[in-house]
Amino acid sequence: MSANLKYLSLGILVFQTTSLVLTMRYSRTLKEEGPRYLSSTAVVVAEILKIMACILLVYKESQCSLRALNRILNDEILNKPMETIKLAIPSGIYTLQNNLLYVALSNLDAATYQVTYQLKILTTALFSVSMLSKKLGVYQWLSLVILMTGVAFVQWPSDSQELDSKELSAGSQFVGLMAVLTACFSSGFAGVYFEKILKETKQSVWIRNIQLGFFGSIFGLMGVYIYDGELVSKNGFFQGYNRLTWIVVALQALGGLVIAAVIKYADNILKGFATSLSIILSTLISYFWLQDFVPTSLKE
């Protein structure tokens, strides 16, 4: 049963990652009248949706009993404050990572983002070795070296780079690259830290997600106030939201649930390699549908 859940969760993760990257990139480059939606508010809404989904899952596991649900939430969250506070660290890092994802996809095409973001496999492996005392085989280390080589080739300047830069809808490729690299390190550390907590305790993965979402919402609202407070007061919290925006938010919330399930039933390194499968899909759709990626001798 656990093996089936492992591969099912990995398959859903590949679908979710591909869909999220492409729809988010499209939503951030789509030209429409009026203000663009704020990425900081989208992160907060995604966290709230994740909390609601997890509460429903806990409710289902409690045989659809409100009394049992209330008892579980009290026993596992309110009555265990130290266990809950532990989740503040990865939650804050995940919130930063989610905001960086929007920054990166506002400045990079989907294919380049996807390939570069796979450096998180390297950071995850390094943190797994140092924090979880995992041992990697020769072929796993060789795979990581090949991964780094591939990322270096993707970022290598090409003759069409000036043309690609003009076609990008917002800002600088350097900003996008820095956002991705920072997200890689934050993703590696937070993922391994969360895996360590999940596998050292017997709490439900959905309870852990509720705790993550609670702190994530707080950190996210702080980000909204600090960076976009004036815009929110002027145009409202949901300014620029449309059907596509809600799809992006829903996919991001789904990602938090799927990643938690993958970490529970598999591990972070396997999660990273599974996510890499979405690069092929993202590249093809980015080239044929979004038309913001032009393959070169180094990027093909």
Residue-wise pLDDT tens digits, 91-115: 999 888 888 888 888 888 777 787 7
Give the number of other Cβ atoms within 10 Å of residue 154's Cβ.
Answer: 18
- Predicted confidence at residue 168, as pLDDT, reads 47
Per-residue confidence band for 78, with pLDDT thresholds at 50, 70 and 90: confident
- Predicted confidence at residue 273, as pLDDT, reads 64
Residues in the chain, overall count = 300
Task: Please state, for a pLDDT cut of 70, what percent of the chain lies above it.
Answer: 80
pLDDT tens digits along 164-204: 444 444 457 788 888 988 998 998 898 888 888 877 777 78
Q: How far apart are CA 142 and CA 135, in angstroms?
A: 14
Q: Which residues of 99-117 are buried (b: 16+ CB within 10 A; e: fewer)?
A: bbbbbbbbbbbbbbbbbbb
Task: Please state, for a pLDDT cut of 90, what percent of the chain lies above it.
Answer: 25
Mean pLDDT calculated for residue range 113-141: 82
> What percent of the chain is helix, strand and coil (3-state, nearest 5)?
80, 0, 20
Closest CA to 121 of 278, 12, 8, 286: 278
pLDDT tens digits along 240-267: 999 999 999 999 998 878 877 776 666 6
- Predicted confidence at residue 152, as pLDDT, reads 63
At 285, list the tokens.
Answer: 């759709």
Positive or negative CA dihedral for 265, 124, 286, 17? positive
For residue 183, give the amino acid letter: A
**Which of the residue ranges 27-31, 81-85, 237-241 has the most confident prediction, judged by mean pLDDT?**
237-241
Q: How far apart are CA 173 and CA 288, in angstroms?
A: 21
Cα 249 to chain centroid distance, Å, stands at: 11
Residue 87 DSSP label: T
pLDDT tens digits along 42-67: 999 999 999 999 999 899 988 889 99
pLDDT tens digits along 113-124: 877 787 887 888
The domains of the chain are located at 38-155+167-242
At 71, list the tokens.
Answer: 């008892």
- Mean pLDDT of the chain, nearest integer: 80
